[in-house]
Amino acid sequence: MKQNKQPHCTLCGRPENEVPLLLQGVEGQICTECVTHAYQIIQQEFAPAAKNAKGKANKAKFDLIKPVEMKKFLDQYVIGQDEAKKCLCVAVYNHYKRLMQKNTQDEVQIEKSNIIMVGETGTGKTYMARTIAKMLQVPFCIADATVITEAGYVGEDVESILSRLLQAADYDVAKAEMGIVFIDEIDKIARKSDNPSITRDVSGEGVQQALLKLLEGSVVNCPPQGGRKHPEQKMIAVNTENILFICGGAFDGIDRHIARRLNTQPIGFNKDNNFYEAFDQQHLMRYVNAQDLKSFGLIPELLGRLPVVTSLNPLDKTTLFSILKEPKNALTKQYRKLFEMEGIVMDFTDEALEYIVDQAMQYKLGARGLRSICETIVTDAMFELPSQENVRSFIVTADYAKEKFEKSVFYKMKTVA
């Protein structure tokens, strides 16, 4: 038998002129075709969903974080709102347990409990979602409901929500199907009117109806790059059965629906003062339920898929004062860090912080109002002090804060109003 003296692959025997590249070894050669084939075999054998020796798929393993530990983590960044924190932590914890149970053959299957969070602007709905995302071990994304329209109209489709979740999961469909989605500004898609009209409510009731299949749990064809700008892209099928949805909205004006349901202001002269005083008029939001959300404009089908309703309390003076000082990324700590980069030691007096809180209470913008007021007070200092090399300390006193704030356009708008 004539020996093949031409260099060839030791595994498959193909000569050098029939393969793209031949890799030289100690006692033989291997072609790139064999290397590629071997890599594919390794990927199949050691994939996360590979079967074990008994022929059953391996369960997803998670480091369960108890609700109390989650709340302690949230307490480092978010002040107050204990009830909303508990609901959020329990929902996430149960979501972990559902992921562990989904591969078992148990007769009792745990249903997911989607949440809707109701609270005034600046009370911390989105901030709580962003904070808890830091400690999650599942893909997490925040979507905005204001840009979503019905299919076929200008705007984004509801499937774009899943596109963001896919991006958070690095386009791993199996991981994305275990994720958590926070839909912000859910109140902006409320039904505009109960009266039938010749025009379609394409960004209101139509969006709510399109969200039903996502919240309930179904296989949705999702565009990986989002939107309609890439019509040639191949759709990815995503099963939303194990995706937890958390919705949040300000629901401005829902307190009137709550008061009407509680009948806190009955018509007539013989008003029952005891019944009237039984409810705190400043914290009506804590009594919100699905009936009030239906009166506001959410359709019953959507509310049925959001069984857990929780509320966030308006921020009082004590809470606002704590927000300025206590959290890990408090506003005062952020400004100290900014001035520290310039070599300047900066601080606020307690009297100055109390003045800032008093002004924020008048504007009723929540924690966001604190940032706006602080910016108007320290803008001049941030503009001038970096150029003054001899300044090494800067203290914001109550008189300084009052002087700068009363000169601002922010204050003049309040006086004109």
Instruction: Report the candidate in 227, 110, 113, 103 with the shortest Cα–Cα distance to residue 174.
Output: 103
Residue 30, domain extent: 1-46
Bridge-partner residues for 140, per DSSP? 180
**Does residue 60 belong to any structural domain of this protein?**
no
The pLDDT of residue 50 is 37
CB of 94 closer than 8 Å to CB of 113: yes
Find the length of the chain. 417
CATH of the domain at 230: 3.40.50.300
**Does residue 272 belong to any structural domain of this protein?**
yes
pLDDT at 149 over 50: yes
Question: Cα(115)–Cα(244) distance, rounded to whole angstroms?
Answer: 9
Mean pLDDT for 146-154 is 80
Residue type, 327: P
Whether 162 and 301 share a structural domain: yes
The alpha helices in 171-297, defined as continuous H runs, are 173-176, 205-216, 254-262, 273-277, 290-296
CB of 152 closer than 8 Å to CB of 108: no
pLDDT at 287 over 70: yes
Token pair listed for 140: 């997490």
Residue type, 224: P
CA geometry: angle 296, 297, 302, nearest 5 deg: 120
**Does residue 54 belong to any structural domain of this protein?**
no
Tens of pLDDT, residues 27-54: 888 888 888 888 878 876 665 443 333 3
DSSP 277: H
User: What distances in angstroms separate CA 225 from CA 92, 165, 176, 337, one per listed residue?
Assistant: 27, 11, 15, 38
User: What distances in angstroms separate CA 339 from CA 167, 384, 394, one per listed residue?
Assistant: 36, 12, 9
Whether 131 and 175 share a structural domain: yes
Whether 157 and 274 share a structural domain: yes
Mean pLDDT for 150-177 is 85
Tens of pLDDT, residues 341-390: 999 999 999 999 999 999 888 887 788 889 989 999 999 999 999 898 88
**Does residue 269 belong to any structural domain of this protein?**
yes
pLDDT at 227 over 60: no
| Structural domain total, the chain | 3
* pTM for the predicted model, two decimal places: 0.75
Whether 19 and 109 share a structural domain: no
CB of 348 closer than 8 Å to CB of 396: yes
Of 66-80, 196-210, 270-284, where does the model show the most confidence?
66-80
Q: Collapsing DSSP states into helix, strand and coil, what is residue 34?
A: helix
- Burial (0-12, 13-18, 19+ Cβ within 10 Å), 335: buried
Token pair listed for 193: 């009117």
CATH of the domain at 403: 1.10.8.60
pLDDT at 279 over 60: no
State which of 312, 347, 382 marks the end of a domain: 312
Residue 143 main-chain phi, psi, to 5 deg: -110, 155
Whether 194 and 286 share a structural domain: yes
**Between 208 and 154, residue with greater pLDDT:** 208
Tens of pLDDT, residues 390-416: 889 999 999 999 999 988 876 665 654
- For 239, the enclosing helix (H) or strand (E) is strand 236-239
